[in-house]
Amino acid sequence: MASRDLAIGTVFLSQTAIGILGNFSLFYHYLFLHFTKCRLRSMDVILMHLNIANTLVLLSKGIPETMAALGLKDFLSNTGCKLLFYLHKVGRDVSMSSTCLLSVFQAITISPRDSRWAELKAKAPRYLGTSSILCWVLSMILNIAVPVNVTGKRRNDNNTNKVDFGYCSSNPSNKVRKTFYIPLSLVPDLFCVGLMVWSSGFVVFILYQHKQQVQYIHRNKPSSRPSPESSAIQSILVLVSTFISLSTISFIFHICVTFLNNPSLWLVNTSTLIAGCFPAVSPYILMSQDSRFSRSCCSWMTNVKPLPLP
């Protein structure tokens, strides 16, 4: 095995392991809150769906990429490749739409009571579960054509324009698909990103106005610790900037892989690696901003009884 393949396999394995550990830790956190009769927040419904989607993305791409880099090339059949790529695309779209839904819900929640969002503010928490399920349904329908261009490595194909993923291959060379299907598939992504930027900007603006109104309180109480408003603004900016920057870079690499004839394996691996960054990093961002996570860990540690000595 070449040292380059071993390095690529190690990178994919590390990303997958770190991402799955973070997502399972976040999932355990919600289970702990549920079974200890703690009251869940309304947005926790969205976060649980986001957690499942991120796990699906990591499992459907990270594990096959690791196996292919370590020398296992023909471990998937034609049907297996089609199913794997379909699940990855569905999980990726649900991850994006759930993040967008979370950002919009935060904007609705933080809006002033006398605004036009007041009526929607009271009704929004009741429709979060339905909206999250709708994200899954729409993603499954919109990506129904994804398996058409995917084939297994076992299938003999002399097409030189195909994209080789090491364990499966894709043939996006059809001009009709490049002209119509790919731009059409990008419309929901651009809509979600635009809506997320707008809603997050609205949240930052409202928090900034609130900070200006209570500025005199913080002047009378000097402290080195940042104010709650500053912490909230910082957490939103970190989450949004991480998502937007990684999505933009992933979009550029995806376009290069799609439109180049017979792209190199390095370009394909880099595109896949960047696409898995947000599912791997997002649970740690969410846990770092959730004070309940540290409390649940402390509660678990204090409730553990020592084993009796023999």
What's the chain's average pLDDT?
76
- Flag whether 108 is in a domain: yes
Residue 164 β-bridge partners: 169
pLDDT in tens, 274-302: 888 989 998 888 787 766 665 555 454 44
**Residue 17 lies inside a defined structural domain of this protein:** yes
In a domain, 291, yes or no: no
Number of domains in the chain: 1
Is 294 inside any structural domain?
Answer: no
Answer whether residue 190 is part of any domain. yes
pTM score, whole prediction: 0.82
Domain of 33: which CATH number?
A: 1.20.1070.10
**Domain span including residue 123:** 3-286
CA distances from 187 to 133, 223, 294 (A): 20, 46, 39
DSSP one-letter string for 222-243? --SSPPHHHHHHHHHHHHHHHH
pLDDT of residue 52: 92
**181 versus 116: which is more confidently predicted?**
116
| Residue 143 near residue 86 (C-beta atoms within 8 A) | yes
Q: With contact defined as beta carbons under 8 Å apart, do 67 and 153 qualify?
A: no
Residue range 125-184, pLDDT digits in tens: 888 889 999 999 999 998 888 888 788 766 555 555 567 777 787 766 555 555 566 666
308 part of a folded domain: no
Report if residue 248 sits inside a domain.
Answer: yes
Q: Say how many C-beta atoms besides its own lie within 10 A of residue 198's C-beta.
A: 13
Residue 163, SS3 per DSSP:
strand
Parallel, antiparallel or unpaired: strands 163-164 and 150-152: unpaired
Residue 9 belongs to a domain = yes
